[in-house]
Amino acid sequence: WELRWPQKSPYGILVCSFMVPTDLKRNEDTTLERGRFFMHHRIWSEETLESERERRRAIQSEASIALKERDEQVEKLVDEEESAFNKVVSYGKAAKSMSNFRSSGLEEARFTPLFDDQVLELVPRACILSTRGLIYKARSEKKREMEIAGQSRVDWLKDVR
């Protein structure tokens, strides 16, 4: 395992690596292909976690407004009483709202846990681990290409302490 925390980043990443030496088959239709896997879980200090939580709430609010605006414009698109010109304008506004939603940062912000039951305090106030992470699989041993293989949850660690 390794802990990476870039100097200007509000969070670090705890990386755990493991090898699956042969394909593992479970049931009829599930196979875990052999290869190297990496579990990534974000880590914050108490201060940076609170700051990132505030940022996530603001981003969620902006994203919600963009979706509401889109829905309002789509309603005008399907309204038979609207003129063709108004429908074209509504289509443009709906597209702009979706562009605002996609560029809001929501996808990245979702990695910040909002509630204390979603984190594990490893070192009081200094090292707070998200209990939800991602698992990546190396595409090849020689290149550093990775693909998301699934999600990781370590909630059970709370019971170990």
Task: Give pLDDT, residue 158.
Answer: 72
How far does CA 55 lie from the centroid of its chain? Answer: 14
Let me know the angle formed at the C-alpha of 60 by 92 and 48, rounded to the nearest 5 degrees: 140
Amino acid found at 26: R
Task: Give pLDDT, residue 142.
Answer: 67
Task: Give pLDDT, residue 141.
Answer: 67
Task: Give pLDDT, residue 125.
Answer: 87
Task: Give pLDDT, residue 161.
Answer: 58
Q: How many CB atoms lie within 10 A of CB 113?
A: 20
C-alpha dihedral, 11 to 159 to 57 to 42, nearest 10°: 20
Task: Give pLDDT, residue 25.
Answer: 87
Angle separating helix axes 84-102 and 46-78, nearest 10 degrees: 170
The residues near 56 (Cβ < 8 Å, ≥ 6 apart) are 109, 110, 112, 114
Over the chain (161 residues), what is each successive 10-residue block's mean pLDDT?
91 92 87 89 96 96 96 93 93 96 93 93 91 88 80 80 58
